[in-house]
A and B are shown apart, each in its own frame.
Chain A
Amino acid sequence: MTTDASAIRDRAAIAGIGATEFSKDSGRSELSLAVECIASALDDCGLRPADIDGMCAYSMENNPDVSIMRSLGGRELKWFSRVHYGGGAACGVVLQACAAITAGIAEVVVVYRAMNERSFQRFGAGVQNQPRLPTTESSHFSWYAPFGLLTPASWVAMCAQRYLHEFGATTEAFGHIAVADRKHAATNPAAWFYGRPITMDDHQSSRWIVEPLRLLDCCQESDGGVALVITSTERARDLKKKPAVIRAAAQGIAPGTEMMTPYYRESITDLPEMALCARQLYATAGLGPRDLDVGIVYDHFTPFVLSQLEEFGLCKRGEAGDFVAGGNIELGGGFPINTHGGQLGEAYIHGMNGIAEGVRLIRGTSANQPARAEHVLVTAGTGVPTSALILGQP
């Protein structure tokens, strides 16, 4: 039996999006952020808490479904699940929703991410104080932690250094991504770095975080919440706002995929799990790289943006450094990315804010709306098991 991912093509759509403000200290509980953004997403499409019958979240989410249902005034949840691997879950939760809706198990599925990541639990602080347990995940980090390789930036930097070496690139290739993100954030009033663009000089003179990554290669740490309401495309067409149809959604774990440290496969400069997503997306949607107009390319750290552009066939392997130069990825360029400012510029909400931007692009309501947004690519966290989406017009 062969799988047929095309079964989900165009069957579900993102009908509503909602978000809290993005900050460094929300001043309220993570549960409050969750129910606020979910209520906002429901309001966006004209549905009510009682309409929700499915929910999917990241396994890193601290808010249990039951607490959200109780606080929100939800009624009956018939389908709920969680997706592991940090920001790699971003588009995965959407795929789970598509699957549930396509299978007829649930009709209105909420996916969300809400966290006080900056004021409570900084991912960038490192894993040195995590409890040592005789578990697979705990022992996994023991191949790195005793030696001082403790932070997400350090795990990604190991691959980034090799990328520079193999393709003769310089860190300016990373800088082009940071400059584009911050340029877009500067004109997005919802972005933390609204009104604060940077130059390549700013990038090159920013301090080292983990060589070869500088401060301006790293995403923000943020407090905030973003939620999506997903329902059948048919029902979504009758709701309040223009929906973004999910042309295709995919998850991927490939040979050698690890949690942040994929150091043991033949190459450490490509992303086979993202390549797997790309293959599935293109097959499901019946589209190719030339059909994509805009990309929301997951940017926890700039270097893996290069590898993603390569894995999606937007440029050849090792040539992303040239692809991102000369304004090509900025608004008005050949393939604008991260029109909301990305996670460097808008906020780090584990990629969920990028999916919301994908919906705005389809609706034509982005703060940085490109001339054409027929098909929008959205990707999830890299260096981990990951996921991706192609959103399209209804």
Chain B
Amino acid sequence: MTESYLEELKKLVGVAGSEAVAHYPSSEAMIHHWCDAIGDANPIYTDVGAARRFGFDGVVAPPTMLQAWTMPGLKPGEPKPGGAMVEIFEKAGFTGVVATNCEQEYPRYIGAGERISSSQSLESVSDLKTTGLGEGHFVTQVWTYRSGDEVVGTMRFRMLFFRPRASEPRAPSKARRPRPAMTRDSEFFWQGVEQGKLLIQKCADCGELRHPPGPMCPQCQSLEWDAVEAAGGGTIYSFVRHHHPHIPPFEVGHPIVLVELDEGVRIVADLIGASNNIAIGQRVQVEFTKVDDDLTLPQFRILKA
């Protein structure tokens, strides 16, 4: 389906657009200013003798000045080239615009004393594209520059008009939390976390609880084990706040606790809803948080005394 705005735009393609005539003829003075500002020391732009040695009648303008002669200047309120096109885009929500590339052609040098005019038209409008900035259309406008009736330059200027992504603040970082690496000894823990369970490894022979888990019971050397679900309550045994280096997605000052679970083993996790008053000995309770699309983690919250 072709959107109506796009039909309107396509009607503008090839239609003669805005015309402009330079306020003043090209001049040695403007050329000299330009060369000073850009830092172009080529003598054919500023030295008549040098220009003549290269076969010109007098100084010539750097070709890249092409666009400068007929620029409208900074007067507010004047219609801008392509104004109708811009209006259609804006109405359709394509309020973002970026220039993407510019190609110029120079059939000959422009000398001093030439009155340059330009005419602009819309050359093409692309179909809707998806870009990193949002969905939008690439448009190419073409300017033709003349001295009298003679074409002395053309410029194709390409822009992207896009719909800025919905007003969601651009995420400061796409960084995600490090994923856990697992071995056959530890994967049960992370599987439990996905199901909202805090599992503690338990020796099947002597009943010893252990965390972090391992393949053998350090008390009785049994390789047999299962897991019990912790109630999730515990006490802050120690804690830190991480400031530097800032490691996204973690916030500066991110609080991390070493919790002694009521079952007797200790475990590290981060603290959620933390105030500035974290203290060793505070009671905490585990919660399970889906921190991003494919990672759930146990986290602790301080219980009100």
Given A126-B247, A139-B186, A146–B179 Cβ distance below 8 Å? yes
Contact yes or no, A147 B186, CB < 8 A: no
Per the bound structure, the CA–CA distance linking A7 and B295 in Å amounts to: 54
- Residue interface bits B152-191, CB-to-A below 8 A is 1, else 0: 0000000000000000000000000111111111100000
Segment of A155-163, A245-253, A383-391 in the binding face: A155-163
Residues of chain B within 8 A (CB-CB) of A151 are: 242, 245, 247
Q: How far is the CA of A124 from the CA of B245 in the complex (A)?
A: 8
Are A148 and B270 within 8 A (Cβ)? yes
Q: Give the Cβ gap from A222 to chain B, nearest Cβ, in Å.
A: 17
Interface-located stretch among A29-37, A128-136, A315-323, A364-372: A128-136
The stretch among B7-15, B86-94, B232-240 that forms the contact with chain A is B232-240
Chain B residues near A161 (CB, 8 Å)? 238-240, 280
> Is B266 an interface residue when CB atoms closer than 8 A count as contact?
yes
Q: Smallest Cβ distance from B72 to chain A, in angstroms? A: 51
In A266-282, which residues have CB < 8 Å from any B CB? 268
A162 and B243 contacting across the interface, CB-CB below 8 Å: no
Distance from A337 Cβ to chain B, minimum over Cβ atoms (Å) = 25
Q: Inside 8 A of A211's CB, which chain B residues have their CB? A: 240-241, 243
How far in angstroms is the closest Cβ of chain B from A383?
13
Write 12 A-B pairs (CB below 8 A) sorted by A numbering: A132-B178, A135-B181, A154-B240, A158-B240, A161-B238, A208-B244, A208-B253, A209-B243, A210-B240, A211-B240, A263-B238, A268-B238
A210 CA to B242 CA in the complex, in Å? 4
Q: A158-B258, A162-B237, A165-B280 are in contact. Are A145 and B242 (CB under 8 A)?
A: no
Determine if A144 and B240 form an interchain contact, defined as CB atoms under 8 angstroms apart. Answer: no
With contact pairs A139-B182, A147-B269, A147-B297 given, residues A264 and B212 touching in the complex (Cβ less than 8 Å) = yes
Shortest distance in angstroms between B216's beta carbon and chain A's nearest beta carbon? 13
Chain B's nearest CB lies how many Å from the CB of A20?
Answer: 26
By beta carbon, the residue of chain A nearest B190 is A142
Which chain B residues lie closer than 8 Å to A146 at the CB level?
177-180, 295, 297
Check if B250 is an interface residue, CB within 8 A of chain A.
yes
Q: Which residues of B contact A143 (CB under 8 A)?
A: 212, 267-268
Interface centre among B240, B243, B254, B269 (most CB of A within 10 A): B240
Best-surrounded residue of B183, B186, B237, B244 (most CB of chain A within 10 A): B244
Would you call B52 an interface residue if the criterion is a C-beta within 8 Å of the partner chain's C-beta atoms? no
Q: Which B residues from 234 to 289 make CB contacts under 8 A with A?
A: 237-245, 247, 250, 253-254, 256, 258, 265-270, 280
How many Å lie between the Cα of A159 and that of B211 in the bound state? Answer: 18
Q: Indicate whether A79 reaches chain B with its CB closer than 8 angstroms.
A: no
The answer to whether B211 touches A145 (Cβ under 8 A) is no
Q: Which residues from chain A contact B185 at a C-beta distance below 8 Å? A: 139
Q: Could you mark each residue 214-230 of chain A with 1 if its beta carbon is under 8 Å from any beta carbon of chain B, else 0?
A: 01000000000000000
Nearest Cβ distance between residue B230 and chain A, in whole angstroms? 15
What distance in Å separates the Cβ of B76 from its nearest Cβ neighbour in chain A?
A: 48
Nearest residue, chain A, Cβ from B299: A147
Q: Contact: A139 with B178, CB < 8 Å?
A: no
Contact: A149 with B182, CB < 8 Å?
A: no
Binding site for B on A (CB under 8 A): 124-128, 132-136, 138-151, 154, 157-159, 161-162, 165, 207-212, 215, 261, 263-264, 268
Contact partner of B247 among A148, A165, A207, A208, CB < 8 A?
A148
Residues of B within 8 A of A162 (CB): 237-238, 258, 280
For A207, what are the chain B residues with a Cβ–Cβ distance below 8 Å? 243-244
**B residues whose Cβ falls under 8 Å from a Cβ of A:** 177-186, 211-212, 237-245, 247, 250, 253-254, 256, 258, 265-270, 280, 295, 297, 299
Q: A148-B254, A149-B256, A263-B258 are in contact. Are A208 and B180 (CB under 8 A)?
A: no
Complex: chain A residue closest to B279, CB-CB: A165
Q: How far is the CB of B282 from chain A (nearest CB, A)?
A: 12
- Interface core residue of B177, B182, B185, B245 (most chain A CB under 10 Å): B245
Nearest-neighbor residue (CB-CB) of A211 within chain B? B241
Write the nearest CB–CB distance from A24 to chain B, whole angstroms.
Answer: 16
Kindly report which residue of chain A lies nearest to residue B184, judged by CB atoms. Answer: A134
Among residues of A, the one whose C-beta sits closest to the C-beta of B298 is A147
Contacts of B280 in A (CB 8 A): 161-162, 165
8 smallest A-B Cβ distances: which pairs?
Answer: A132-B181, A142-B180, A145-B178, A211-B241, A138-B181, A162-B238, A148-B250, A157-B240
Check B242 against A148 for contact (C-beta < 8 Å): yes
Bound together, the chains give a CA A143 to CA B240 distance in angstroms of 15
Residues of A within 8 A of B244 (CB): 207-210, 215
Q: Once bound together, how far apart are the Cα atoms of A147 and B266, in whole Å?
A: 15
Q: If the complex has contacts A147-B270, A148-B270, A207-B244, are A158 and B238 also in contact, measured as CB distance less than 8 A?
A: yes
Given A139-B183, A140-B212, check contact A264 B242 (CB 8 Å). Answer: no
Considering the chains assembled together, what is the distance between the CA atoms of A126 and B183 in angstroms?
22
- Contact across chains for B181 and A133 when beta carbons are under 8 A apart: yes
In the assembled complex, the CB of B34 is this many whole angstroms from the nearest CB of chain A, namely 42
Q: Which residues of A contact B242 (CB under 8 A)?
A: 148-151, 154, 210
What is the bound-complex CA distance between A147 and B269, given in angstroms? 5
Q: Which of A148, A151, A210 has the most CB of B within 10 A?
A: A148
Across the interface, name the chain B residue whose C-beta is closest to A215: B244
Contact A141 B181 (CB under 8 A): yes
New A-B contacts (16) at CB < 8 Å, excluding given A132-B180, A158-B258, A162-B237: A126-B245, A134-B181, A134-B183, A139-B183, A142-B180, A144-B268, A146-B177, A157-B240, A158-B256, A165-B238, A165-B280, A207-B243, A210-B244, A211-B241, A263-B258, A264-B211
* A163 nearest in chain B by CB position: B238
Which chain B residues lie closer than 8 Å to A141 at the CB level? 181
Chain A min CB distance to B35 (Å): 41
Interface contact A159-B254, CB-CB below 8 Å: no
B240 touches A132 (CB 8 A): no
* Residues on A with beta carbons closer than 8 Å to the beta carbon of B250: 148
Closest Cβ of chain A to B184, distance in Å, is: 8
The residue that A132 contacts in the complex, of B179, B237, B243, B268, with Cβ under 8 A, is B179
Q: Which residues of A contact B245 (CB under 8 A)?
A: 124-126, 151
